[in-house]
Structure 1
Amino acid sequence: MTATYGLFAIGEACVALPLSAVREVTPCPEPLAALPVSARGLLGAVNLRGQVIAVLDLLPEIDHGSAGHRVVVVMHHRDRLLGLLVDSVHGVTSPPALQQVGTHEHRLPVSHAFPAPTQEDEGRGIVSVLDVEALFALPGIPALREDEAGDGVFGADGTAADATDLAGSMLLVRCADHRLTLNIDAVHTIVPRVTVRSSPLRHGSCRGVTDYGGAEVPVFDPLALAGLGELSAGDTEGVAVKFRDGVVVMLLSEVLELIPASAGQRFTLPGVQVPGRRYLDGVVRVPGRGDFLSLSVEAILAHEDLNALSRLNTPPRHEGVPAPRAADDEESAGQSRAGGTYLTFSVGRDFAVPLEQVVEILPFPEQYSVLRAGDEDVLGLFTHRDTVVPLYRLSGLLRAGDPSLPAAYVLVVSAGPDGRVVGLAVHALRAIERSIWEDPAAPGEAPSGEPSLEQALARRRTIRLAAIGTSDEPRMLTRVDLSAVGAALVPDSPTRLTTTSSGTGILAPHAN
């Protein structure tokens, strides 16, 4: 059975601990209590519900920043407890293989290593697995015996939890006056400071965007999602939640602790009438801490809008842009239904595109390679995330508005299931809106095979949209199928370099 490890950041290093050795994670108090002993890396002690636990810093020369953003990982080994200072929690992983680390002369506090499992951690390169036994054996470090009368790591029936039980962990958080818990498996990392900026993506529970992992990612309010109220502007902590194709940051007031799932007792939630009832799956009673509402990770990860938002401005997977889902294919075929979520934008006139068709939204590039001088539709090429993206002016393709208006954004849309993408320049982003009525698809709107550009541009229909989260009156707009346009612009066929009369080149498909 593959072991499960918790991932933590210490300075610039990413380290791992077997989850079976992690008792819990708790914020580091300021100051730590003094101990009448001295040893390298020993910072002091923390009083955790009557348990005195020494706290060790493996990199004492590193400036860890504000104490409010540090956490203490409480480790247990042979009935003894020891705290380890870390800067952040980076979720859990089960590596397929480990490479042993060590020397013949000395036992190191690191036993194994493995490649960083996610793109967010790749800057650190490798993950070092800490040797728990070696940490407890460090000279001068007082590993204090666990109080038999204390909580310990016990199941709901009071029996000791075994290592397999510990593989499931819960993150305890506070959102305004509500205390919530969620399964740590869905957490990509804890984000200690979230600065939310307004964005056209703001709608429903989405509060805007924040900088994360070198990109702008959406931020959602779990209270708004579950119908429990709203977080305030002063709430600035969060966790990055892993969806199928990217991450979305869940805004919080405070991260409290990480505990084994077996340390709490779960109760069924009664049939309370709140709008987001399906996003709550019970109440967890944690001894010594009280009751927590349990967020349904399964329901959150299945949320249609959050899944669509997770693909915007998030790094693509290593195999390229994710292929559209079956539901996306239906959308491309013009079989959408009322209630769909749309991104509205302007190219001199306002249009709407199904949100799931947009892979990313980028600022218009400062530099790009011009392919055809003076062409209103074909702008050129630019590189993004090691991919060459063909760039077109959407106003010219749609024959709408003034093509001389400056472009401000690029909608990156999928041009096929094999990772092809195309960039479509637009003048402005409007909002995220939901349709309340859609004109039925015209007969024959979904021909077999890839449509021609003319056919793709003709895939339009009238829809009635209501702006989410506002009192604005619904409006009628034209829905366009940009996935079909992208597939027509970048066909799945060999390309060659041709020369125009102006002497500039353009990549074009072979003539039949």
Structure 2
Amino acid sequence: MAPAAIRPGFGGFRIGGMELGLPMQVLREVVPCQELIRLPCAASCVTGGINLRGIMVPVIDLRILFGMPTPHVPFQSVMIMIHENRLLGLLTEGVTGVFTGETSEINHVHFAAADQSVFYGSIRRADNGTLVNLLSPAALAMLRDVPLAEHREMKKPTGIQADTANSQNKDQRQGQDKVIPVLLLRCNQIALTIDAMEVYTTLSDPEIKPSPLAMGSCRGVIEYAGSKIPVLDLLEVCGFGKIEPDTPLQAFLVQLPKGMAAFLVNKVIDVVRIRTGEIIDVPAYALPRSALFSGAIPKSSLPASCSQQDAILASQFLVLNGAGMKSCHEITALANVSAPEQMLVRHNRPQTATTDKTGRKRTMVTYLLGSETATPFEQIREILPFSHSIPIFEQTGPLLGMIVVRGRSIPVVCLHRLITGQPAQKAATNILVVEIDHEAIGFAIPALKSIETVEWEPELPQFGGEAANDDLKRAIRSNRLAQIGNGNSIRMLPVLDLEKIGRAFRAQQLAVA
């Protein structure tokens, strides 16, 4: 029986606001862009070179090639491609992951000029629907006056290095043991690695800012590309404790289905290539959160230059599972906060199940409101600190005033006064922002408590009823509970539907007006 056809893979990356892609077979690795070395080269698109383990690799800026502006973008990376055993670096703002596609799915473009263009078509990604412009490796390698570095194979290849063409063809036929670029990381003395194509970019010295999200493994947020991205302690996420205080920190960013998340490490050591056949199994019971790992790479399988860096004491590099991290509800719930505004417009959904469409357990944000109360995290668009400069109205009702966030005017309502009719006993510390029919409303609360997974969501029977025209009272009167926590920390909390409450409050205000 003939082997099943392998769908060709592409590596996606971004520069100058363009979504671009190259065939995976020509991509070698992605490295952080340090200061580029000047080269004696006439091509204006060659912005310099990088020292790639003793090889000077020229780097081109595609924005110059396409006649686009070239503003400085922090935290850039260089994607290394190989064509006919020659290397070229492409400046990027970050990689966007691997995707597959068929040749028949490519929408080809044609140019009237006889010269071959580096842009030959586009394809729509099946994973997120993005339209990606495809580049021709052969055309990039033939750019006028652009030098390419000759790739030197080591005399004694190890399992981490590139295979020869014959072994690559054999691997493709078998559909296994392929070569992938990985990022080597250190957290305390624990060595970790992750597929480099899962990493959006790396940050050499992240500036962590305080945030109401800073609880559990979240240390705060960083500002990147106009978004506030939650920063998580990678060790704590993996269940290995915490990164030691007062130690140098770096971070890497991962693009999730909605938003992004940053993970703190002590050191991004290097980017190297490994064969997937070098990954060994690790007993699941030996790992606190086994779903976040896909095995380990023995240190002896890595090049000596990489193994010796930073005096790694561990005998193996634990391999992080990118898919497992992207499906971890703790991570995705926090990443949703950093999602672009257009991705955070939420629609009404029946809140009757403990799990979402994918079968994963829902997450609740809990806060103090007299007693501890819960709201589905999916309803919370953003969590803001409360400022005493916010109130501008007479505080005889629940409406405190308005704030402006990224060009939007958001009314702020005292949730305690709205529910009880009485002033809050404690000053507000945070604002929960909820999206209602493309409008935002903020609920001021005394204090956040936690973000936790729901184990059970029972619904109590309704007795009696409010007047037919009192939608607000009906929205406030919650008959749903959420069981949160485990062991001695199990508690049953009332659940408030803030979207429903906000919609009813808005209708009441409009009726009065």
* Within-5 A mapping of 1:45-124: 46=50, 48-49=52-53, 51=55, 53-58=57-62, 62=70, 69-93=75-99, 98=107, 100=109, 102-112=111-121
Q: How high is the TM-score relative to the length of structure 1?
A: 0.69
* Within-5 A mapping of 1:321-400: 321=346, 329-330=352-353, 343-345=365-367, 349=370, 351-354=372-375, 356=377, 357-362=379-384, 376-377=397-398, 392-399=413-420
Q: Report the 3-state secondary structure (helix = DSSP H, G, I; strand = E; otherwise coil) of the residue aligned with 2:431.
A: strand
Kindly state the Cα deviation for residue 374 of structure 1 after the two structures are TM-superposed: 7.7
Match of 1:426 among 441, 444, 447: 444
Residue 179 (structure 1) aligns with:
191
Is contact 2:401–2:413 with CA below 8 Å preserved after alignment?
yes
Work out the CA distance in 2 between the residues paired with 1:215 and 1:464.
Answer: 33
The reply to whether residue 210 of structure 1 matches residue 222 of structure 2 is: yes
Work out the CA distance in 1 between the residues paired with 2:109 and 2:59.
Answer: 26
Is contact 2:428–2:447 with CA below 8 Å preserved after alignment?
no
Is contact 2:177–2:277 with CA below 8 Å preserved after alignment?
no
Work out the CA distance in 2 between the residues paired with 1:318 and 1:116.
Answer: 17
Q: Report the 3-state secondary structure (helix = DSSP H, G, I; strand = E; otherwise coil) of the residue aligned with 1:216.
A: strand
Is contact 1:11–1:64 with CA below 8 Å preserved after alignment?
no
Q: Report the 3-state secondary structure (helix = DSSP H, G, I; strand = E; otherwise coil) of the residue aligned with 1:308.
A: helix
Q: Give the share of equivalent positions with the same residue, in percent.
A: 22
More displaced stretch, 377-386 vs 349-358: 377-386
Residue 136 (structure 2) aligns with:
131
Cα 1:39–1:340, aligned 2, differ >3 Å: closer, same or farther?
closer
Residue 310 (structure 2) aligns with:
none
1:304 is aligned with what amino acid? H
The reply to whether residue 314 of structure 1 matches residue 336 of structure 2 is: no
Match of 2:163 among 142, 145, 154: 154
Is contact 1:313–1:362 with CA below 8 Å preserved after alignment?
no
Work out the CA distance in 1 between the residues paired with 2:186 and 2:291.
Answer: 18
Residue 457 (structure 1) aligns with:
476
Is contact 2:212–2:384 with CA below 8 Å preserved after alignment?
no
More displaced stretch, 155-164 vs 145-154: 155-164
Kindly state the Cα deviation for residue 127 of structure 1 after the two structures are TM-superposed: 6.1
Cα 1:130–1:475, aligned 2, differ >3 Å: closer, same or farther?
closer
Structure in which a larger fraction of residues adopt helix: 2
Cα 1:58–1:251, aligned 2, differ >3 Å: closer, same or farther?
same
Kindly state the Cα deviation for residue 103 of structure 1 after the two structures are TM-superposed: 4.6
Work out the CA distance in 2 between the residues paired with 1:279 and 1:443.
Answer: 40
* Matched positions, count: 470
Residue 20 (structure 1) aligns with:
25
Kindly state the Cα deviation for residue 309 of structure 1 after the two structures are TM-superposed: 2.1
Q: Report the 3-state secondary structure (helix = DSSP H, G, I; strand = E; otherwise coil) of the residue aligned with 1:311.
A: helix
Work out the CA distance in 2 between the residues paired with 1:71 and 1:143.
Answer: 18
Cα 1:188–1:133, aligned 2, differ >3 Å: closer, same or farther?
same
Unaligned runs of 5+ in 2: 1-5, 308-315, 356-360
Report the aligned-residue RMSD: 5.3
2:213 is aligned with what amino acid? L
Cα 1:211–1:53, aligned 2, differ >3 Å: closer, same or farther?
closer
Is contact 1:172–1:179 with CA below 8 Å preserved after alignment?
no
The reply to whether residue 482 of structure 1 matches residue 479 of structure 2 is: no
Is contact 1:421–1:486 with CA below 8 Å preserved after alignment?
no
Match of 2:263 among 239, 246, 250: 250
Cα 1:410–1:143, aligned 2, differ >3 Å: closer, same or farther?
same
Work out the CA distance in 2 between the residues paired with 1:127 and 1:45.
Answer: 26
* Within-5 A mapping of 1:172-321: 172-176=183-187, 177-183=189-195, 186-191=198-203, 193-231=205-243, 232=245, 234-256=247-269, 262=275, 265-270=278-283, 273-284=286-297, 287-288=302-303, 289=306, 291-316=316-341, 318=343, 320-321=345-346
Is contact 2:236–2:242 with CA below 8 Å preserved after alignment?
yes
